[in-house]
Amino acid sequence: MNTDTTTLVELERILRPGDILFTRLRNPFGRKIAEASASWTSHVGIAFHNADRGWVVAESAVPLSRAGSLGAFLRRSECGSVAVRRLRRDLGKQEVNALWQSSHSRLAAGLRCFIASLPSHEHPSTPCAQRRWRGGRSGT
């Protein structure tokens, strides 16, 4: 394992769209996953660059998949540890777009499942439903 210390700014500079980020969650669930897999990692996300939001990480989360900021993703990692892996070649723009679309469709599917599970008196436009949706999906 590489023990180099890298700042968030340095990490943002070396990331490429489609990079896979491995971390270790700081909760008992994350520790059990790492223990069961005999690895220091327990969580994974895919990095994408967004012109408005900067680096975002698409990840599976409970109860919904989400795309949150790189900083939020790293703050949940035990000791701020992260491993970055990528293909031997850079992904082309079309490949990155296809990967994002695939990830984004899963985010949208999670939202549809959440909306379908709302009690009939709640609707996504109500403040209660909006708070619960944002709180469950937002990584920031």
- Asked if residue 2 is part of any domain, the answer here is no
pLDDT in tens, 47-101: 999 888 899 999 887 767 788 899 999 888 888 788 899 989 889 999 998 988 8
Spatial CA neighbour of 33 closest among 11, 52, 51, 60: 60
- Asked if residue 3 is part of any domain, the answer here is no
pLDDT value at residue 4: 60
- Asked if residue 1 is part of any domain, the answer here is no
Structural domain count, the chain: 1
- Asked if residue 99 is part of any domain, the answer here is yes
Domain with 57 in it: what CATH number? 3.90.1720.10
pLDDT in tens, 17-27: 999 999 888 88
- Asked if residue 23 is part of any domain, the answer here is yes
- Asked if residue 107 is part of any domain, the answer here is yes
Spatial CA neighbour of 125 closest among 112, 135, 115: 115
Spatial CA neighbour of 47 closest among 71, 74, 17: 17
Q: Which domain holds residue 82?
A: 8-137
Q: In angstroms, rounded to a whole number, what is the distance separating the alpha carbons of residues 112 and 107?
A: 9
Q: In angstroms, rounded to a whole number, what is the distance separating the alpha carbons of residues 51 and 60?
A: 22
- Asked if residue 37 is part of any domain, the answer here is yes
pLDDT value at residue 108: 64
Amino acid residing at 63: P
**Residue 52 neighbours by CB under 8 Å, 6+ apart:** none
- Asked if residue 130 is part of any domain, the answer here is yes
pLDDT value at residue 34: 83
